Structure 1
Amino acid sequence: MTHHYGYVAAITAALLFGISSTLNKLALRDVAPLVVAGSIYLTAGVVLMFIRYTRFGRKLLSRLEFKVKPQDSFSMRDVVVLVLVILFGSFLAPLLFMSGLDLTTAVNASLLLNTETLFTVLIALIVFKERASKMSMAGILLILLGAVVVSTENLGSIELSRGIVGNIMIILAGLCWALDNNLSRFLSLKRDLLLVTSLKALIGGSALLSLSALLGVSLNIPAKSLPYILTVGSLSIGFSLVLYLFALREIGAMRTGAIFSTSTLIGAFVAFLVLGESFTPTKAFFGVLMLFGVYLLSAESPTEGSYTR
């Protein structure tokens, strides 16, 4: 299986995750934010664990072939990494993001959440020594620039001096997700990606819902909100996580993280189609820049500016 499948997986993961913003907005009309976060992760875990024991699950894992010998067993290091991934990616990041969203403006939150991509790239470059050519870095910069513009409804309304505590929480959420992205590279080498992703989602979702109950947040989910939560959980979180891990294995955290941020473009376009939110010519232009950035990344030969594991 060539590296191009890694790029296809990253783009598909971004597409699945991109639709979640619109569906989450619909669910948030009647359900508390922390309950939405916990419910979608728990749904993802249940769906993936179920699929793992079906013929489809076995066929899916067989299609996600390895370029290197797969690892069947879990070492103590793998267990520690899984615990950290759950802590940072499935618990702290959603908790910080939802809490920060309540303390700052939606515009600030949309802008600052792009720090996840920036942190992911920096950690991959500095800590894990992934290598990038000038063309790759140009592609990443184009994607990040496009994400900032596309994810921010009105750049003129940014007021970072407002809701400073909330802003800091959003940035910390981005850092936690970036740590999750980079640590997950170790788990991506496992044969059973369905087990890894289901455990991550099950434990993280259960922890978030338990925290909601302890805080006295209503766990009630109206019937009309269930389709949104089930769709986001199974597709936008569940299968998106599996494809994200596969992309990590194939093309590294730096490229996967950058490409995954195109979910902001997909989210903005779906919101335009479903919710009637604005999709201006400016957003369309910077969206095209993002896609060109993805092209620059994917057009590079695997031997150029390559990555390490």
Structure 2
Amino acid sequence: MTHHHGYVGALLAAFLFGLSSTLNKIALRDVHPVVVAGSVYLTAGVVLMALRFTPLKERLLSTLEFRVKTREGFSRRDVGLLGLIVLFGSFMAPLLFMFGLERTSAVNASLLLNTETLFTVLMAAAVFRERISRRGMVGIALIIAGALVVSTENMGSVALMGNPWGNLLVVLAGLCWAIDNNLSRFLSLNRDLLLVTSLKGILGGTSLLSLSALLGVPLTIPAQSMPYILTVGSLSIGFSLVLYLFALREIGAMRTGAIFSTSTLVGAFVAFLVLGEGFTPLKALFGVLMLAGVYLISAERPAEDSYTG
């Protein structure tokens, strides 16, 4: 087994999550944004919890064990961490993002959501003392630069000062997801990643749907929207979260967070194929630069990538 499995996990997580932007966009035609967010998280939790009671559980968990030693069971600290992760990553972040998106343009939101990667990298370096080589830092810079261009449909339409409150909410959502990313590194050492991710999905989804009910938002989902919500929930959130935690365990929050930004490239390309949205040569060029950045990060020596908690 090599250290590259962590990078493969991060890329697969990014690929699955990248599918969500197009599928969510279709579902949002008929369903309230907060209901979509709550439904996909709850679906993810239910699917993964159900998977834990099948013979596939041990096979999957054994497949995800590589270089880093894992532990069994939940400690009191783990329960506290899970509560914080659900609060920041599965409740506050999607809530802030949806309300921010309502008050600003999609272009601004796509651009500003890349602050999640920046916050994740800075937090991992400053608070959790993760280290990376100069070559790796160049790789991270290429990925962030690529994400800024690929996630923006038209740079000329960016107007960050047009509605500062909406933009601020999106940035705060990015900060909350960055906190989630860095805290999740500790729970990633738990062997049962299916339990960790299923609880995160169930608790976060239930909280969001409960809030929707309190706000008087209709919880009905039309039949034509269900396939998109179920696909996003099970694959783009559920299995993507499992792979993301596996990558956190193997290569740390800094590298995982940076590589996960390639989901913007996947999202842009899938939107081009399915929705006919523009995928310009400039986006293709910066997409190649993002992949070059991934290569620079993954080319580091295995000894530099380990994380033991």
Shorter chain as denominator, the TM-score bin is: over 0.9
Map 1:152-167; keep pairs closer than 5 Å. Answer: 152-167=152-167
**Equivalence for 1:236:** 236
**Equivalence for 1:148:** 148
Q: Deviations over 1:15-37 (max 9, x none)?
A: 00000000000000000000000
**Cα-Cα RMSD:** 1.1
2:37 aligned with 1:20: no
The separation in 1 between residues aligned to 2:117 and 2:67, in whole angstroms, is: 26
Question: Which SS does the other structure have where 1:129 is aligned?
Answer: coil
Question: Which SS does the other structure have where 2:107 is aligned?
Answer: helix
**Equivalence for 2:133:** 133
- Following TM superposition, by how much is the alpha carbon of 1:118 offset from its aligned partner in structure 2, in angstroms? 0.1
- Following TM superposition, by how much is the alpha carbon of 1:305 offset from its aligned partner in structure 2, in angstroms? 7.3
**Equivalence for 2:168:** 168
TM-score, normalised to structure 2, is 0.98
Map 1:130-279; keep pairs closer than 5 Å. Answer: 130-279=130-279
**Equivalence for 2:287:** 287
8 A Cα contact 1:132 1:307, kept in partner: no
Q: Per the alignment, do residues 305 and 136 of structure 1 end up closer, same or farther by CA in structure 2, a change over 3 Å counting?
A: farther
The separation in 2 between residues aligned to 1:63 and 1:174, in whole angstroms, is: 31
Q: Deviations over 1:211-251 (max 9, x none)?
A: 00000111110000000000000000000000000000000
Q: Deviations over 1:151-208 (max 9, x none)?
A: 0001111111111111000000000000000000000000110000000000000000
8 A Cα contact 1:130 1:308, kept in partner: no
The residue type equivalent to 2:166 in the other structure is: G
| Overall identity of the aligned pairs, in % | 74
The separation in 1 between residues aligned to 2:239 and 2:36, in whole angstroms, is: 18
The separation in 1 between residues aligned to 2:23 and 2:93, in whole angstroms, is: 20
Aligned length: 309
8 A Cα contact 2:250 2:307, kept in partner: no
Which runs of 5 or more residues in structure 1 are unaligned?
none
The separation in 2 between residues aligned to 1:308 and 1:148, in whole angstroms, is: 32
8 A Cα contact 2:3 2:305, kept in partner: no
Which runs of 5 or more residues in structure 2 are unaligned?
none
Q: Deviations over 1:244-284 (max 9, x none)?
A: 00000000000000000000000000000000000000000
**Equivalence for 2:7:** 7
The residue type equivalent to 1:200 in the other structure is: K
8 A Cα contact 2:250 2:306, kept in partner: no
Question: Which SS does the other structure have where 2:302 is aligned?
Answer: coil
8 A Cα contact 2:249 2:307, kept in partner: no
**Equivalence for 1:60:** 60
